[in-house]
């Protein structure tokens, strides 16, 4: 059975694309067959993060009926499949975003998980992406504007009768001014299923065009994303931090 999971938010810049790319890889590591889809048609970055910025065929071409979906599916070196979107502004013309649900439906039976990244906001593009998914993960930062926008998205998801798996709180700094897990759950009325800390290794992995889960699997963000992948699959997560890792982590931070 294929699970089609969309990562969405009401606000841009919260880290949806980073989590989507890493989650795709973390699930693949667990032996799952995964297809990652860049459903952010106006500002796509999933292919860029995964080292495939300029594909011959993209989701834009499929939505314009210029190519078959199978031509826009690429095998990534990390073992999952990727359907990228075009980064060219000229490819925005003639795209029928209303076809996204039917295109996504054709992926049923072709993978265990379809992980979708989408644009921020509540416009037609985001609405079509939500309609294309079966399950929704809301991504937010622990600040009031991000959570308020996530709440608006949650209300839209409920209106479209889609299931919210939970909330991923990203880029946590553990500051007193940040909203707590309990406050976020109370506002959005959905469980927080992952708390991902602010982590310099994420920026470094993006520059290297590698998932942080592979770039530094013991980094705080990588560990929590792997924990999320285990939770989605129902597997227990057992992690033991390498001996003297905290000392090494502080030394690396001092040297950089």
Q: How confident is the model at residue 247 (pLDDT cuts 50, 70, 90)?
A: low
Task: Check if the beta carbon of residue 74 is closer than 8 Å to that of residue 35.
Answer: no
Model pLDDT for residues 186-225, shown as the tens digit of each residue: 999 999 999 999 999 999 999 998 999 999 999 999 999 9
Confidence at residue 256, expressed as pLDDT on a 0 to 100 scale: 47
- Token pair, residue 254, equals 């001092």
- Token pair, residue 237, equals 């997560």
On the question of pLDDT at 79 being above 90, the answer is yes
Confidence at residue 71, expressed as pLDDT on a 0 to 100 scale: 96
Confidence at residue 245, expressed as pLDDT on a 0 to 100 scale: 52
Model pLDDT for residues 1-16, shown as the tens digit of each residue: 999 999 999 888 999 9
> For residue 105, with 0-12 CB atoms within 10 Å meaning exposed, 13-18 middle and 19 or more buried, which class applies?
exposed
Confidence at residue 122, expressed as pLDDT on a 0 to 100 scale: 87
Confidence at residue 62, expressed as pLDDT on a 0 to 100 scale: 95
State the pTM of this model: 0.92
Model pLDDT for residues 27-38, shown as the tens digit of each residue: 999 999 999 999
Mean pLDDT of 56-70: 94
d(CA 58, CA 30): 27
- 124 conformational bin, left if phi > 0, alpha if psi -120 to 50, beta if neither: alpha
What does each C-alpha distance from 61 to 35, 42, 51, 69 come to in angstroms? 18, 14, 20, 9
Query: Chain-centre distance of CA 253, in angstroms?
Result: 27
Q: What is the DSSP string of 98-147?
A: GGHHHHHHTTTTS-SEEEEEE-SSSSHHHHHHHHH-SEEEEEE-SSHHHH
Most confident of 52-61, 87-96, 243-252: 52-61
């Amino acid at each position: 059975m294929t699970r089609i999971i969309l990562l969405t938010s009401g606000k841009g810049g919260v880290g949806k694309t980073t989590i989507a790319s890493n989650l795709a890889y973390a699930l693949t590591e667990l032996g799952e067959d995964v297809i990652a889809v860049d459903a952010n048609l106006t500002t796509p970055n999933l292919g860029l993060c995964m080292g495939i910025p300029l594909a011959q065929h993209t989701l834009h071409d499929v939505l314009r009926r210029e190519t078959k979906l199978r031509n826009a599916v690429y095998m990534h070196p990390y073992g999952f499949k990727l359907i990228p979107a075009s980064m060219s502004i000229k490819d925005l013309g003639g795209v029928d975003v209303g076809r996204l649900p039917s295109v996504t439906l054709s992926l049923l039976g072709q993978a265990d998980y379809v992980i979708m990244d989408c644009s921020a906001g509540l416009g037609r593009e985001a609405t079509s992406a939500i309609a294309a998914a079966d399950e929704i993960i809301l991504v937010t930062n622990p600040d009031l504007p991000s959570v308020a926008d996530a709440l608006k998205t949650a209300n839209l998801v409920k209106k479209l009768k889609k299931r919210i798996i939970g909330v991923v709180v990203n880029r946590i700094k553990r500051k007193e001014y940040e909203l707590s897990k309990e406050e976020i759950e109370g506002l959005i009325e959905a469980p927080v299923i992952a708390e991902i800390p602010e982590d310099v290794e994420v920026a470094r992995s993006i520059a290297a065009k590698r998932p942080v889960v592979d770039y530094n699997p013991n980094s705080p963000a990588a560990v929590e994303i792997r924990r999320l992948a285990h939770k989605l699959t129902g597997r227990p997560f057992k992690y033991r931090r390498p001996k003297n890792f905290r000392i090494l982590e502080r030394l690396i931070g001092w040297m950089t």
